[in-house]
Amino acid sequence: MVKICCIGAGYVGGPTMAVIALKCPEIEVAVVDISVSRITAWNSDTLPIYEPGLDEVVKKCRGKNLFFSTDVEKHVSEADIVFVSVNTPTKTQGLGAGKAADLTYWESAARMIADVSKSNKIVVEKSTVPVKTAEAIEKILTHNSKGIDFQILSNPEFLAEGTAIQDLFNPDRVLIGGRETPEGQKAIAALRDVYAHWVPVDRIICSNLWSAELSKLAANAFLAQRISSVNAMSALCEATGADVSQVSHAVGKDTRIGPKFLNASVGFGGSCFQKDILNLVYICECNGLPEVANYWKQVIKINDYQKTRFVNRIVSSMFNTVSGKKIAILGFAFKKDTGDTRETPAIDVCKGLLGDKALLSIYDPQVNEEQIQRDLAMKKFDWDHPVHLQPMSPTSIKQVNVVWDAYAATKDAHGVCILTEWDEFKTLDYQRIYDDMRKPAFIFDGRNVVDEAKLRAIGFIVYSIGKPLDQWLKDMPAVA
C-alpha cells in the first residue's frame, strides 16, 4: 500500500489530502501538524476550517484511509510520498523584511524529514514558495540523507477557499514540476498516478521544478492584477459617472479577456495574493529587475489605495467625522463561504474607522468575536504563523462589539458597511434596518451586493464601489 504523509493540516493540507484519500481508497493518507488544537479539531465533529462539502469528504474517509495526527515523525518515516504544506509567511525582520518569504517552517520540516527517514522518499512542495526553494530543500535533504534517495517535486495548489472541494474534484490543471533526470521523471510519474485516479491526464501538466514554482506565483499575480485593474477603473467610474459593473461586463465579453475576476470590490484579501506578489517583487529585485518588481508592486499599491479610498468615502460622507458614531460592519471574512480572515480588507477598513474613533458593531456568519479581536490587535504578517506561535492577543478593543445578527449590528447605527459578499446580505429586510437606524442612514457597499435603486427608494444614502454617486456623495468628495 502506498503511504502518503502531509506535513501541515491547514487550509491546503486538510482538504487536499481528504480528497486524495477519497479518490484513492488504496492509498493511506496521514495529515500531521505540530498544532495539537488543529489536529484535535480535524478528529472532531467541528473541523478547524469552514469549507462547503469538506465535512462529507472527511467523514467518508477518516479512520479508514485518512488519519490526522501530531505524531509527525512516525508518519513521515513510514511514508513513500511526503507533501509539505506548512506556512510560508512574509519575513518581518532581517534581510528582505516585508517582502521575502520566511522559510523557517519549511526548512525545519525538511530537516526533520532528513532526520527521521529510513527509506527513499518523494518530497512534494505543496506550499507556495519562492522560485528555487526546491534546490535549497534538495541540498538540506541530500546533505543529511544517510544514503537515502530523495526526489523533490513542486506541486503547487491552485484551490480557492470557499470552493476548495469543487476545485480539487475538478481542477483546471494539476501542475507537477521535477528534475529532468530519469529519477526525477519517475517521481513525476508516481505523483501523476495519484492524481490520475480522478483528474483527466490531459489536465496534469508536467514541467521542470522552477517553471512549476514560478507558475504558482505568476498565476496569483495575474489574478490579483485583474482585481486591481478593475478596482482602478472603479475610481474612474465614480469620477465620471460610468458604472463599473457595466464596464467589466463589456470588457469581459471579449473572449481574449473573459468575465472572471473582474468584480470591483473594497480590495482583495486572503492569505496568498499579497504575500505571493511581495515574494515575486523580492525575487525580481534580487535578480536585478527593478522595473519588473515595480510593475507588480503597483498591484498591491492599488489594493491599498482602494481600501483607503473606501474609508475616506465613509468618513467624508458622514460630515468628515465618525467619532462616537456606531457603524455596522456586515461581513469580516475575506470572501463569502469561508471563515478565513487572513489579510481580509475588513481589517484595514475597521482599523481606519477605529482610527477616526468610530464604534463598530461587527457581524459575520462564520467569524467569531475572538478571531475578530485578535485580527484587529495583530501586527501585519503575524497571522501567518502556526496558531500556537502567534502573539497572544492583547486586551480586546473596547470600541468593537461583535454580534451574531445583522439586525443587532445595524440597530441605532449611523452607517452600514458591507465588506463580504455573503448571500444573506442580498436578502436582508432593508426597510427594517432603515427604520432602526439613525438618520441620515448611510450604506457603503464594498462588494456591490445591494440593489442601490431599491435602497435609495427606502431613504438610504448609498455608496457602491464604482457606481454613479448620490448627489450627497458628489458634494462631499473623498480625498484618497
Residue 331 host element (H or E): none
Strand order in the sheet with 150-154: 66-69, 28-32, 3-7, 81-84, 121-125, 150-154, 174-178, 204-208
* Residue 11 marked ligand-binding: yes
CB neighbour class for 124 (10 Å; exposed up to 12, middle 13-18, buried from 19): buried
Asked if residue 5 lies in contact with residue 32, where contact means CB atoms within 8 angstroms, the answer is yes
Closer Cβ to ligand NAD, 72 or 449, answer by number: 72
Q: What residue has cell string 504523509?
A: 5
Told to check if 460 binds ligand NAD by CB under 6 A, we report no
* Residue 38 marked ligand-binding: yes
* Residue 427 marked ligand-binding: no
Shortest Å, Cβ 313 to ligand NAD: 30
Biggest alpha carbon distance in the chain?
75
Kindly give, in sequence order, each residue whose CB lies less than 8 Å from that of residue 132, ignoring residues fewer than 6 positions away.
210, 213
Stretch that binds ligand NAD, among 1-9, 17-25, 306-314, 441-449 (CB under 6 A): 1-9
Measured distance CA(12)–CA(272) in Å, rounded? 12
Told to check if 332 binds ligand NAD by CB under 6 A, we report no
Stretch that binds ligand UGA, among 130-138, 156-164, 283-291, 404-412 (CB under 6 A): 156-164
The full DSSP string for 25-81 is: TTSEEEEE-S-HHHHHHHTSSS-SS--TTHHHHHHHHBTTTEEEES-HHHHHHH-SE
C-alpha cell at 19: 480528497
Q: Pick from 4, 5, 6, 11: which binds ligand NAD (CB under 6 A)?
A: 11
Told to check if 108 binds ligand NAD by CB under 6 A, we report yes
C-alpha cell at 478: 473623498
Told to check if 13 binds ligand NAD by CB under 6 A, we report yes
* Residue 231 marked ligand-binding: no
Measured distance CA(366)–CA(339) in Å, rounded? 5
- Measured between its terminal Cα atoms, the distance across the chain in Å is 60
Selected catalytic residue, list 5, 272, 284, 350 = 272
In the residue annotation, 272 being an active-site residue is answered as: yes
Q: Pick from 223, 417, 443, 469: which binds ligand UGA (CB under 6 A)?
A: 223
C-alpha cell at 146: 544517510
Shortest Å, Cβ 333 to ligand NAD: 13
Selection from ligand UGA, ligand NAD, none that 7 binds (CB < 5 to 8 A by kind) is ligand NAD
Told to check if 128 binds ligand NAD by CB under 6 A, we report yes
Q: Pick from 57, 61, 72, 131: which binds ligand NAD (CB under 6 A)?
A: 72
Told to check if 422 binds ligand UGA by CB under 6 A, we report no
Please choose, from the candidates 420, 416, 356, 343, the residue with its C-alpha nearest in 3D space to the C-alpha of residue 382.
343
Selection from ligand NAD, ligand UGA, none that 85 binds (CB < 5 to 8 A by kind) is ligand NAD
Stretch that binds ligand NAD, among 81-89, 286-294, 392-400, 452-460 (CB under 6 A): 81-89
* Residue 19 marked ligand-binding: no
Measured distance CA(196)–CA(174) in Å, rounded? 10
* Residue 420 marked ligand-binding: no
Asked if residue 276 lies in contact with residue 99, where contact means CB atoms within 8 angstroms, the answer is no
Residue 366 host element (H or E): none
What number of chain residues touch ligand UGA (CB under 6 A)?
Answer: 21
Told to check if 51 binds ligand UGA by CB under 6 A, we report no
Shortest Å, Cβ 343 to ligand UGA: 8
Told to check if 8 binds ligand NAD by CB under 6 A, we report yes
Closer Cβ to ligand UGA, 332 or 460, answer by number: 332
Q: Summarize as ranges the residues that interact with ligand NAD (CB under 6 A).
A: 7-13, 33-35, 38, 72, 85-88, 105, 108-109, 127-128, 157, 159, 161, 271-272, 386
Give catalytic residues, as residue numbers.
272
Task: Catalog residues that contact ligand UGA under the rule CB under 6 A.
Answer: 128, 157-161, 220, 223, 227, 261-263, 265, 268-273, 334-335
Give the annotated binding-site residues for NAD(+): 8-13, 33, 38, 86-90, 127-128, 161, 272-275, 342
